[in-house]
Chain A
Amino acid sequence: MYRYDEFDHTLVSERVAQFRDQVRRRLSGALSEDEFKPLRLMNGLYLQLHAYMLRVAVPYGVLSARQMRKLAHIARRYDKGYGHFTTRQNIQYNWPRLEEVPDILEELAEVEMHAIQTSGNTIRNTTADPFAGVAADEIADPRIYAELIRQWSTLHPEFSFLPRKFKIAITGAPHDRAAIKVHDIGIAMRRGPDGEPGFEIWVGGGQGRTPVIAKRIREFLPEPDLLSYVEAILRVYNQFGRRDNIYKARIKILVNDLGIEAFAEAVEAEWRATRDGTLRLPESEIARIAQHFAPPDYDPVPAPSADFAEHRLATPEFVQWVRSNTAPHKQPGYSIVTISLKPEGGIPGDATAAQMEAVADLSEVFGFGEIRVTKEQNLVLPDVKQFELYALWEALKRHDLATANIGLLTDIIACPGLDYCNLANARSIPIAQQISRRFASLKQLHDIGGLTLNISGCINACGHHHVGNIGILGVDKKGTEFYQVTLGGDAGMDAALGDIVGPAFAEDAIVDAVETIVTTYLEIRQDGERFIDTYRRTGLAPFKETLYAAH
């Protein structure tokens, strides 16, 4: 993974000192809250319902064991013993004190971490495939380019006061695990006509109040042109994005208003002037970054071993866990393991300091000391030897991290909702907990098969409910929490926005509604169909019928 050199270290240290001084000036009155707020947002510090909330960047979801231990330490020392992993691969702390935040940032800087631009109208964390570098289906490793974008976008003097936040995602595999089509800029690794590396660029996707699937702006962009092209898009957006209405200020609105052709023309015109300039990436720079992501020293082990085969037969629980929580690794004899942060009845994405430390330890014993964070709010150990899977599973079980539900119904993605968030209209976590308990049976879960369920507590859609196979949106109807259901969303390459199924459900009816949806699917599905396949075949009709017929 990327290791800071003296320049990176200097930047984050200076940034900490700068913020420390900004806090001092706020507390002394030299800065008003109005002046201070954008500055603290640029350091990821929100004011939420109960307290401040600090969002720490986990660049493209990659963490070292050492960094994870620091995150655990921060949870203990400065917070209430836990953290929350987010739908953009970051981590959030819910209880920091303003006066201690500079100290937190200083501790983070010690391990090459920061909270720069995790909020505000800036370029946010560029997210990537959590299986980057190890996925069996990968074309090229997107982390190299995610790191290049990270540096280019950090403290960018021209783009720190954009019309609105800006989110970039990048995938290196044809199976898009980064949801690029619902990002402001989505980047897919591609090979050019002569096999040279490059990118397909998508623009103007997003969720929130006006969900939109991105439009393709460029079919193939050569590798050296990545930053100049992205800068051209940002420059067009910074100049012409709407600033009169915060709900119409994202780039998706601009792309929609101009039309993709006109927007592309504006970008290409701008890019023609800069393409061969200072942002052109020399091969040496790409190689320098790529070095940090060279594959580790894999053992050429035979795959799979007798030990693994034995437990596969003897322990059904383990078999289930392997089925749902492991994925094919490009290196023979290895697996990618997803650690579920969705225990039965648990809070999706939350981890205690002890759990974080356990994961750090396990990443070193069962890998090369690297951990990934997924947008589904889980963690990944990317390099586990297959013959060690059973031992890992047993260790994970001891820390309540082995629920065999990855990609299944109870692998629920939920925003913090009204329990934490200032913007929320309804609670999301209790709904997730109830659904999780209702469908606790692993056998049932595995029989239902692959299904994504996303819950958002308000229209800002931080739970990404628009792209859930089942999406739930909490709304406020005259002071009572109601839940609106959408079906048929998808976050991958076949990205789709869910369709509203009908009137919202009361909080004591929503879990039954989810059960009805699942039962209906089980009754009408045809051979091999996942939920989303059945939905694409039948549409809303059978679900509307069973959900609302009785009323």
Chain B
Amino acid sequence: MPLIKNGQIADDPWIAVAEGETIPATGAVLVPYSVWERQRETLLSRNTPIGIALANDQPPALIEADIARFELIALNFPTFKDGRAYSQARLLRERHGYTGELRATGNVLRDQFLFLQRCGFNAFEVTTPDGAAAWGAALAEISVTYQPTADGRTTASLRRQSRPAAA
């Protein structure tokens, strides 16, 4: 599946390892939480980047203690209508201070790009190639935000407050 990072299609250096599979000797691996739980020491001893994939019903607090160890966290949208990962993303960024790659996987569509990015996602496994092409346009569609997230955008409220006072 095409991966978008920084607004372009990017290579994906991560190797996804499923439950029950052997963890390869080298390389950046992306594991589900269950694998992390059982093979934590093995993974840590490898001294290579570790990524973790959370199911959308696994609370971010599960990995709170180890969050600094991950360079990738992948969150999932089983269908685009299931919006649980938006909350997971915001909690990871804003509550647990996660600064690594936050990837949206599953049913990821162009019309959710802006919402996803505002919640803290910075990498997107898209379902269709033209999703990637529309990336820039999708993000530019709405320039006003009413609610603060950790996306760095200034809310309308703050922009109003910093307006010079009316004469």
| In-complex A–B contact (CB below 8 Å) | yes
Query: Which residues of chain A have a CB within 8 Å of any CB of chain B?
Result: 5, 7-8, 10-11, 14-15, 17-18, 21-22, 30, 35, 38-39, 121, 151-152, 154-162, 235, 238-239, 243, 273, 278-279, 282, 284-285, 288
Which residues of chain B from 139 to 167 have a CB within 8 Å of any chain A CB?
Answer: 141-149, 156-157, 159-161
Contact B142 A18 (CB under 8 A): yes
B140: min CB distance to chain A, Å: 9
Looking at A5, A7, A159, the one whose CB has the most chain B CB atoms below 10 A away is A7
CB contacts under 8 Å to A, within B72-102, are 80-84, 86-88, 90, 95
Partner of B114, one of A121, A157, A158: A157
Which of B115, B145, B156, B159 lies in contact with A160, CB distance below 8 A? B115
- Interface residue B106 (Cβ < 8 Å from any Cβ of A): no
Cβ 8 A contact of A155, one of B116, B146, B148: B146
A14 adjacent to B143 (CB under 8 Å) = yes
The tally of residues in B whose CB lies under 8 Å from a CB in A reads: 34
A161 adjacent to B148 (CB under 8 Å): no
Out of B83, B109, B142, name the residue touching A238 (CB < 8 Å). B83
B119 contacts the other chain (CB 8 A): yes
Q: Does chain A have a CB within 8 A of B118? A: yes
- Report B55-72 CB contacts with A as 1/0, cut-off 8 Å: 000010000000000000
Whether B95 contacts A14 by the Cβ 8 Å rule is: no
Are B142 and A14 touching (Cβ within 8 A)?
Answer: yes
Inter-chain contacts of B142 with A (CB < 8 A): 11, 14-15, 18, 155
Q: How far is the CA of A21 from the CA of B111 in the complex (A)?
A: 11
Could you pull out 28 A-B pairs where Cβ atoms are within 8 angstroms?
Answer: A7-B156, A8-B144, A10-B143, A14-B141, A14-B143, A17-B141, A38-B81, A39-B111, A121-B83, A151-B146, A151-B157, A152-B146, A156-B146, A157-B86, A157-B114, A157-B118, A158-B119, A161-B81, A161-B82, A161-B83, A162-B83, A235-B90, A238-B84, A238-B86, A239-B87, A284-B161, A285-B161, A288-B160
Q: Which of B144, B148, B160 contacts A278 (CB 8 A)?
A: B148
Q: A155-B146, A160-B115, A238-B86 are in contact. List 14 more A-B contacts (CB 8 A).
A: A7-B160, A10-B144, A11-B144, A14-B144, A30-B130, A38-B80, A155-B142, A158-B87, A158-B119, A159-B86, A161-B83, A161-B86, A161-B112, A239-B59
Contacts of B116 in A (CB 8 A): 157
| B130 CB contacts on chain A under 8 angstroms | 30
Contact at A121–B84, with CB atoms within 8 Å?
no
State the CA gap A30–B80 with chains docked (Å).
Answer: 17
Report the nearest B residue to A162, measured CB to CB.
Answer: B83
Bound-complex Cα distance A151 to B145 (A): 9
* Residue of A7, A151, A239 touching B159 (CB-CB under 8 A): A7
Known: A161-B81, A161-B83. A154 touches B146 (CB 8 A): yes
Whether B95 pairs with A273 at a CB distance below 8 angstroms is yes
Using A30-B130, A35-B109, A158-B119 as known contacts, say yes or no to A243 and B86 having CB atoms under 8 A apart: no
Contacts of A14 in B (CB 8 A): 141-144
Chain A, residue nearest B81 (CB): A161
Quick one: which of A8, A238, A282 has the most chain B CB within 10 A?
A: A238
- Contact: B114 with A243, CB < 8 Å? no
The residue that B149 contacts in the complex, of A5, A157, A238, A288, with Cβ under 8 A, is: A157
Return B2 CB to nearest CB of chain A, in Å: 16
- The answer to whether A152 and B147 touch (CB under 8 A), given A239-B59, A288-B160, is yes
Across the interface, B83 reaches (CB within 8 A) one of A5, A17, A35, A160, namely A160
- Cβ–Cβ < 8 Å partners of B119 in chain A: 157-158
Question: Which residues on B sit within 8 Å (CB–CB) of A11?
Answer: 142, 144, 146, 156
Contacts of A160 in B (CB 8 A): 83, 86, 115
Q: Which of chain A's residues have a CB closer than 8 A to the CB of B148?
A: 278-279
- Once the chains are docked, how many angstroms separate the CA of A160 from the CA of B81? 9
Q: How far is the CB of B97 from chain A (nearest CB, A)?
A: 12
User: Which 4 pairs, one residue from A and one from B, show the smallest C-beta to C-beta distance?
Assistant: A161-B83, A157-B118, A278-B148, A7-B156
Chain B residues near A22 (CB-CB < 8 A): 111
Closest to A154 in B: B146
Whole-angstrom CA separation of A341 from B146 in the bound complex: 35
Closest partner residue, chain A, to B84 (CB atom) = A239
**Using Cβ atoms and an 8 Å threshold, which residues of chain A touch B87?**
158, 235, 238-239
How far apart sit A121 and B118, CA to CA, in the bound complex (Å)?
A: 19
- If A159-B86, A238-B87 touch, whether A8 touches B81 (CB-CB below 8 Å) is no
Are A156 and B147 in contact, CB atoms less than 8 angstroms apart? yes
Find out whether the CB atom of A5 lies under 8 angstroms from the CB atom of B160: yes
CB-CB nearest in chain B for A285: B157
Interface centre among B109, B147, B160 (most CB of A within 10 A): B147
Query: What residue in chain A is nearest B85 (Cβ atoms)?
Result: A161
- Across-interface contacts of B145 in A (CB, < 8 A): 155
In the complex, what residues of B have CB within 8 A of residue A5's CB?
Answer: 160
- Chain A positions within 8 Å of B81 at CB level: 38, 121, 161
B84 lies within 8 A of A151 (CB): no
Least distance between A288 CB and chain B CB atoms (Å)? 7
CB proximity of B11 to chain A, nearest CB, Å? 26
A161 in contact with B80 given A8-B156, A17-B141, A18-B142 (CB within 8 Å):
yes
Which of chain B's residues has its CB closest to A241's CB? B84
Which chain A residues lie closer than 8 Å to B109 at the CB level?
35
- In the complex, the chain A residue whose C-beta lies closest to that of B114 is A157
Shortest Cβ distance from B111 into A: residue: A39
- Across the interface, name the chain B residue whose C-beta is closest to A35: B109
Contact pattern, B 21-64, Cβ under 8 Å of A = 1, otherwise 0: 00000000000000000000000000000000000000100000
- In-complex Cβ contact of A158 among B59, B80, B86 (8 A): B86
CB distance from B80 to the nearest CB of A (A): 7
- Cα of A273 to Cα of B96 in the assembled complex, Å: 11
- How many angstroms between the C-alpha atoms of A21 and B145 in the bound complex? 20
Asked if A18 meets B141 with Cβ closer than 8 Å, knowing A151-B146, A243-B82, A279-B148, the reply is yes
A12 to B147: give the CA distance in the assembly, Å: 15
Residues of chain B lying within 8 A (CB to CB) of residue A121: 81, 83
- B24 smallest CB distance to A (angstroms): 33
Q: Which of B112, B148, B156 has the most chain A CB atoms inside 10 A of its CB?
A: B156
Chain A residue, CB-CB nearest to B163 = A5
In the complex, chain A residues whose CB is within 8 Å of the CB of B112: 161
A7: which of B95, B141, B144 is its contact (CB, 8 Å)? B144
Min CB distance A247 to B, Å, is: 16
Residues of B within 8 A of A30 (CB): 130
CA distance A39 to B109 in the complex (A): 11
